[in-house]
Amino acid sequence: MLSSAWSPLESEYCEVVLDQPCPTNWWGYPVCGPCHCNVDKGYDGDCNKTTGECRCEENHYQPADSDSCYDCDCYLVGSYGGACDPITGQCHCRPGVIGRRCDQCANAFAQVTIMGCESE
């Protein structure tokens, strides 16, 4: 937030205050404190700037009853990128491709391609 003040009764005076967000790996307002996210368990070192809550690293997921985050490990040929559902770990599969990692075809005679599952 930017604020300023000026008083016509005194000489010109201007004070500019600029609120800065906490730096990376810190959270809080108005006083910043360090994030306490365990990066060894797959958490991002940078927590929520308002609550201090830890979140998984990009392309990681955390099952409901787990205290760790796991790599999505999506098969990039069969999926639309490396992201997955944040709880189940299900990758976003191309047409006809199945499996959590998007690495299988429902049709046993097809193969996973960047177009989905295709029969030879």
Question: In which domain, by residue range, is 111 found?
Answer: 72-120
Among candidate residues 85, 107, 88, the one with its CA nearest the CA of residue 96? 107
CA 21 to chain centre: 19
The total number of structural domains that make up the chain: 1
pLDDT digits (tens, 9 = 90+) for 21-73: 889 999 998 899 999 999 999 999 999 999 999 999 999 999 999 999 999 99
- How does pLDDT run across 92-116, given as a tens digit for each residue? 999 999 999 999 999 989 999 999 9
> Residue 102's domain is classified under what CATH number?
2.10.25.10
Question: How far is the C-alpha of 96 from the C-alpha of 2, rounded, in Å?
Answer: 53
Nearest alpha-carbon partner for 56 in 64, 65, 45: 45
